[in-house]
A = this chain, B = another copy of it.
Amino acid sequence: MTDLSAVKRSLASQAIETPSWAYGNSGTRFKVFAQPGVPRSPEEKIADAATVHKYTGVAPTVALHIPWDRVDDYGALTRYAEDLGVRIGAINTNVFQDDDYKLGSVTNPDPGIRRKATDHLLDAIGVMDATGSRDLKLWFSDGINYPGQDDLRERQDRLAAALRETYDRLGDEQRILLEYKLFEPAFYATDIPDWGTSYAHCVELGPKATVCIDTGHHAPGTNIEFIVAFLLRQNRLGAFDFNSRFYADDDLMVGAADPFQLFRIMYEIVRADALDPSYGIAFMLDQCHNIEQKIPAVIRSVMNVQEATAKALLVDRDALATAQRAGDVLEANAVLMDAYNTDVRPLLAEVRADAGLDPDPVGAYRRSGYQRRIEEERAEGAQAGWGA
């Protein structure tokens, strides 16, 4: 039997981080479609993130991307966020948009470019110091497009050296979240293509290095919840970048492509008692709202994670364990599906009402007038996007 009040407590204390860049313009290599109301500054991005938190109650932090969110005074930015009710989350480094990085950043064959890239990582730790951020999220676009273009193994040596230097600069309460990605923008080989590569580097670095799973970064057919379960067992799961995909790194709203997969992922989290923020996993969104309105899309994404979590919490774990140990394949599957097939929207409406929130976050946002206001106030000036 599931304890519903415990489920509601878990849901009430859940924390999902939204990324500053989700509020800016994004697109594909074919076209970036601009949207009205898009932020023009880090502050406006944070204001949008705070709005998402206001209506969902479970998005208390916002991730920054350096240099996209570079400011002169990070202390002021931090206070600005806090005044709006949110905190600064992970600091993301960007070592892929400078002309120097055409052939790589920390794995570039040119030692001068490697130095520049590594310095950027060290600078980002400075931003963490200034903002109180715990997490340095490292995603490298590094890789090669053609067989022979560079030496696969030497690039690992270069990567290891940069990671070591960065790791050694971390403060006691800081840590690295090391992301992997199968392909894009490098098309033949990326330098951290899979969780195994990230994991091996993390183990070599030390306990403050953990793996970040971006749900869109795998080969077709990869069982992501297995990776979740395995990394939890090894105590090396640090974070998620949530999004969803049908083909490649589509960066659609999490839960939009395969809600059952999201449920299975969250079940492994629940099963390991790793949902509570105190466990230390950062549950982040990393999405591109290319054609849909951004703030309600982020709200909807947060709700999708909540719904998957609620279903995972509703799994009757005693019944499941009994069926599993008995080797009753159909019954074990049925116990899991019972939870998945439950409509948890009424339960989440209650959780929101208990927290003094509108039970319908998207509706509340639409009724609030915020969207109209930002479209008016932000009509002038350069909109934020991936390049700024």
Q: Which residues of A line the B interface, CB within 8 A?
A: 26-31, 33-34, 96-97, 99, 101-103, 109-110, 141, 145-153, 156-157, 182-185, 187-189, 193-197, 199-200, 203, 218-223, 225-226, 229-230, 232-234, 245-248, 250, 252-253, 256-260, 264, 268, 271-272, 290-293, 296-297, 300, 307, 320-321, 324-327, 329-330, 332-337, 340-343, 345, 362, 386
18 other A-B residue contacts (CB within 8 Å) besides A148-B320, A296-B330:
A27-B185, A29-B386, A30-B386, A103-B327, A110-B327, A145-B250, A145-B291, A146-B252, A147-B260, A147-B333, A151-B271, A153-B233, A156-B229, A183-B248, A188-B252, A220-B221, A247-B248, A341-B345
A245: nearest chain-B partner, CB-CB:
B187
By the criterion CB–CB under 8 Å, are A221 and B182 in contact? yes
A330 partner residues in chain B, CB cutoff 8 A: 292-293, 296-297, 300, 362
A100: nearest chain-B partner, CB-CB:
B33
By the criterion CB–CB under 8 Å, are A152 and B229 in contact? yes
A96 partner residues in chain B, CB cutoff 8 A: 30-31
**Alpha-carbon distance A149/B334, docked complex (angstroms):** 9
By the criterion CB–CB under 8 Å, are B33 and A102 in contact? yes
A113: nearest chain-B partner, CB-CB:
B327
CB within 8 A of A184: which of B230, B248, B362? Answer: B248
A346: nearest chain-B partner, CB-CB:
B343
CB within 8 A of A246: which of B102, B221, B297, B320? Answer: B221
By the criterion CB–CB under 8 Å, are B99 and A200 in contact? no
**Alpha-carbon distance A110/B324, docked complex (angstroms):** 10
A103 partner residues in chain B, CB cutoff 8 A: 291, 327, 329
A211: nearest chain-B partner, CB-CB:
B196
By the criterion CB–CB under 8 Å, are B183 and A146 in contact? no
By the criterion CB–CB under 8 Å, are B258 and A223 in contact? no
CB within 8 A of A153: which of B229, B292, B307, B329? Answer: B229
A296 partner residues in chain B, CB cutoff 8 A: 330
**Alpha-carbon distance A83/B293, docked complex (angstroms):** 51
CB within 8 A of A333: which of B33, B149, B221, B386? Answer: B149
Most B CB contacts (10 A, CB to CB) among A147, A233, A264 go to A147
A234: nearest chain-B partner, CB-CB:
B200
Q: How far is the CB of A212 from chain B (nearest CB, A)?
A: 15
**Alpha-carbon distance A151/B146, docked complex (angstroms):** 32
Q: Give the copy number.
A: 4
What would 8 A/B residue contacts be, using CB atoms closer than 8 Å? A29-B185, A145-B250, A147-B337, A153-B268, A182-B247, A219-B220, A220-B220, A258-B258
A325: nearest chain-B partner, CB-CB:
B109
**Alpha-carbon distance A188/B247, docked complex (angstroms):** 8
By the criterion CB–CB under 8 Å, are A147 and B256 in contact? yes
**Alpha-carbon distance A188/B150, docked complex (angstroms):** 32
A203: nearest chain-B partner, CB-CB:
B203
**Alpha-carbon distance A182/B152, docked complex (angstroms):** 24
**Alpha-carbon distance A189/B247, docked complex (angstroms):** 10
A333 partner residues in chain B, CB cutoff 8 A: 146-149, 256, 292
**Alpha-carbon distance A321/B96, docked complex (angstroms):** 24
A160: nearest chain-B partner, CB-CB:
B233
**Alpha-carbon distance A31/B141, docked complex (angstroms):** 10
**Alpha-carbon distance A226/B246, docked complex (angstroms):** 13
By the criterion CB–CB under 8 Å, are B248 and A145 in contact? no
Most B CB contacts (10 A, CB to CB) among A221, A257, A271, A330 go to A330
CB within 8 A of A148: which of B141, B218, B230, B332? Answer: B332
Contact A151-B321, Cβ < 8 Å, known A145-B290, A146-B256, A156-B229: yes
Q: How far is the CB of A337 from chain B (nearest CB, A)?
A: 7
A30: nearest chain-B partner, CB-CB:
B185
